[in-house]
Amino acid sequence: MSTIVRAGSSAEFLALVPHLLECTPHRSLALVAFADGRSIGALRVDLPDPAVSADVDSVASTVIGMACKISRADAIAAVVYTDRSLTDARDLPHRSLIDAVRSRAHICGLRVTDALVVGADGWDSYVAPADDGPLPLADIEARDDLPAVDGDQLSAVALPEIAQASVETVARLLTDAELLLTRSRAAKRLSGRHRSDAMKLIDVLGDPPAVFEAAVASDSPLDVPQLAAMSFCLQRPALRDVALMQWVGDLATGDATYRAQFAFAEGRAFPADLARPMCGEGARPEPTRLLRALEACRQVAAATPRAERPGPLAACAWLAWAGGRSTHAAAYADQALAIDAEHGLAGIVRTLVGHGRLPEWVFERPAVTSPAGTGSSHGSRAR
């Protein structure tokens, strides 16, 4: 059920924008799309350098292009968030950007309902500037009928805190399991407890889709064995891709993708319907499932030793991109690339974000379907 919150003025609208974006924008251009007078989506991009006209034109083309892809959109409102002062300014900052946005919106048949700016010392309208200078920021403070929005567009990217004891245990489990799997001579020197713990982890890893499904079964934090199992899988591209496709689909999709990976290793073609979501094509994932997967991967990244962290971070980047959070996706990808400059998935996500590419499902709201069908369960699967 949708919640309807009315905004009868520009000030009331500005108070709503952070809730639409799930953050308080900083040095940003925000665009809110409307259909029949109701907001149906919002996007945010970094402000370009106003001195570089090519950047201004490129950003305007990108954001209007995205707005045009939103199903049923017939109007937009634009808001600039800047650190600059509006008082005594000869003109409102970033006017060239707003002019470019309005021009491209007109070309694309989108009505511009408002164009506003929030500065360091007030707010104003590009369409009808206030006669006596900027209006007070107090006009657009958080509304009592809405929950508070904490942090700017990058605040949510910080990895969660994981107890040091848990981090050390995850590292030990991963090392011991690797020793056992590779039949290293060092495995013979493991204590009975360490060997037993590592064997339990290896047993769980016999069914990766079950591991991935348990991670999104609830919003509870992952325990240490789950963190270790997920870290092991997300460090391995083939298993990581199974996880990503399962989280945008369902358990049956994970099973099918897992089997397809084995077949592909034997020289058989990978089914196109299972691969399409990786490129952002197909039905829109269930939002709660996607968010739970992202949070699980954030916990895993925080619990994984830094040298092995690019895999979990790349998974975070892809999941953020899949959810339409390109700013977060770029930040996670950058963290992964800072550790491993050649990391494949992190580089792909960074390129997608750099070109303003988002999954097709971000602009639509179809029912979730599984390309693998339904009916899979842990008890019925054969490995």
pLDDT in tens, 239-258: 999 999 999 999 999 999 99
d(CA 225, CA 166): 10
d(CA 307, CA 339): 7
Cβ of 138: how many Cβ atoms within 10 Å? 8
Residue 365: which pLDDT band, with cuts at 50, 70 and 90?
very low
> Is there a contact between 23 and 156 (Cβ–Cβ < 8 Å)?
yes
d(CA 124, CA 136): 9
Residue 6: which pLDDT band, with cuts at 50, 70 and 90?
low
Higher confidence at residue 27 or residue 377? 27
Q: Which domains can be identified in the chain, with CATH numbers?
A: 10-136 (3.40.140.10), 164-380 (no CATH)
Give the tens place of pLDDT for each residue, 297-355: 999 999 999 999 999 999 999 999 999 999 999 999 999 999 999 999 999 999 999 88
Give the tens place of pLDDT for each residue, 33-60: 999 888 888 999 999 887 777 789 999 9
pLDDT surpasses 80 at 8: no
Quick one: what percent of the chain has pLDDT higher than 70? Answer: 92
Q: Single out the residue of 214, 308, 306, 222 nearest to residue 254, CA to CA.
A: 214
**What mean pLDDT value characterizes the chain?**
89
- Between 142-151, 237-246, 298-307, 373-382, the lowest mean confidence (pLDDT) is in 373-382
- In the chain, the N- to C-terminal Cα span, in Å, equals 41
**If 0-12 CB within 10 Å is exposed, 13-18 middle and 19+ buried, where does residue 362 land?**
buried
Element (H, E) at 329: helix 326-339
Per DSSP, the residues of 138-194 read GGGSPPTTS----S-TTGGGSPPP--HHHHHHHHHHHHHHHHHHTT-GGGGG--HHH
Residue 132: which pLDDT band, with cuts at 50, 70 and 90?
confident
Q: What is the pLDDT of residue 143?
A: 63
> Is there a contact between 66 and 99 (Cβ–Cβ < 8 Å)?
no
Average pLDDT over residues 281-285: 91
Q: Which two tokens stand for residue 360?
A: 């097709």
Q: Single out the residue of 350, 329, 352 nearest to residue 341, CA to CA.
A: 350
Alpha helix stretches (DSSP H) within 4-145 = 10-21, 53-69, 95-107
Give the tens place of pLDDT for each residue, 157-201: 999 999 999 999 999 999 999 999 988 888 888 899 999 999 999
Q: What is the pLDDT of residue 40?
A: 87
- Considering the entire predicted model, what is its pTM? 0.84
